[in-house]
Homo-oligomer: A and B are copies of this chain.
Amino acid sequence: MIKVGIVGGTGYTGVELLRLLALHPEVDLVAITSRGEAGTLVADMFPSLRGKVSLKFVDPKDAPLDRCDVVFFATPNGIAMQQTRQLLDAGVRVVDLAADFRIQDVGVWEKWYGMTHVAPDLVAEAVYGLPEVNREAIRHARLVANPGCYPTAVQLGLLPLIEAGCVDIDHLVADCKSGVSGAGRKAETHILFAEASDNFKAYAVAGHRHLPEIRQGFARAAGREVGLTFVPHLTPLIRGIHATLYARITREEDFQAIYERRFASEPFIDVLPPKSHPETRSVRASNTCRVALHRPQGGDTLVVLSVIDNLTKGAAGQAVQNMNLMFGLDECIGLSHVPVLP
């Protein structure tokens, strides 16, 4: 059994980790920390976990995290970078669900996240936890930077074309729609029900923090910088990301075959038949990404549709997938959920 600790268990990625780990047959939940809720039963805050999780939140300073095999950080940005070294030194492996170790260029990270990085050497060591790209490195990693939700959907949607070198990588467009849980469980006005329900809007069009993360992934695949216009939208869904991706063809290929080959052995990527329209609910509460390819009117523009559950494949599910890889388990253990539809 893998002894697991969670730092910061009161947000949505935290409760989603608990939903997945509570039934994971190889996991022993050891500690869940929260400053504000120390002493509270986890199941009192999240009644969905009654009978499933018996732990109380503990204050970080009292948590036996250094006796865990792995610690997940489900914290705001800037926390994991302060605490990871001590855990690694104690032989604990770390999966950070925040952004602290996602971007290799520390200067870029500091610009977009507005803080000074306190552990640049760990950034260099960290493995970007997108199994479909870095599976082998993840198996041996001490420290995994779990990808962001938009970057997961967008990279899984466009990497096959970029790797194949058959589209114009200077003018990619990613028009992305996210459920409101992607904004976290924070008391902020703009994500109130009466604001976000029956309403739709773009946000952060000038620049969103996931932009450099996506560009980094694309640059690795392409061998050079890419041009990407990324527009996120707040959508009245609880869970789900739908990425609508536009790429201009530069070389004719059997594009559908490219996707099918690229993801043939991927347990969590489902390439739909051509001209399909994946729905976000078709992956709700599961770790699956579904991708479909279109070429409208046979023109020169490909449209790729990519859907994930932002809390599962876009966060906690992918983190568990990474843990499974890090500990030599079957990658799919604890992640076999059938999506909840309707």
Contact = CB atoms under 8 A, between A and B. Distances in A.
Interface of A: 12, 15, 18-19, 22-23, 46-52, 171, 173, 175, 177, 179-181, 183, 185-189, 191-203, 205-207, 227, 229-231, 233, 235-240, 242, 244, 246, 248, 270, 272, 275, 277-286, 288, 290, 294, 296-297, 299-301, 303, 305, 307, 311, 336-342
Contacts of A278: 47, 201
Nearest to A172: B301
A23 B15 CA distance: 23
A48 B340 contact: yes
| Nearest 4 pairs of A and B residues by beta carbon | A48-B339, A48-B341, A193-B196, A175-B175
B198 A187 contact: no
A239 B207 CA distance: 28
A226 to B, nearest CB: 12
A338 B311 CA distance: 15
Q: What is the oligomeric copy number?
A: 4
Given A19-B341, A191-B192, A198-B197, A173 B233 contact: no
Contact of A194 (B49, B206, B339, B342): B342
Nearest to A50: B270
A201 B231 contact: no
B303 A231 contact: yes
A205 B248 CA distance: 16
A338 B231 contact: no
Contacts of A15: 341-342
Contacts of A305: 202, 205
- Most chain B CB within 10 A, of A194, A238, A294, is at A194
A198 B198 contact: yes
A193 B180 contact: yes
21 contacts: A23-B337, A51-B288, A173-B175, A177-B200, A177-B235, A180-B197, A183-B194, A185-B342, A187-B189, A193-B236, A193-B238, A195-B342, A198-B281, A199-B237, A199-B281, A200-B237, A201-B280, A231-B303, A233-B242, A235-B235, A284-B340
Given A193-B193, A200-B240, A338 B22 contact: yes
Contacts of A195: 185, 193, 342
Given A198-B284, A203-B277, A239-B342, 10 more contacts: A48-B282, A171-B248, A173-B175, A173-B246, A193-B193, A197-B198, A198-B239, A198-B281, A205-B296, A230-B296
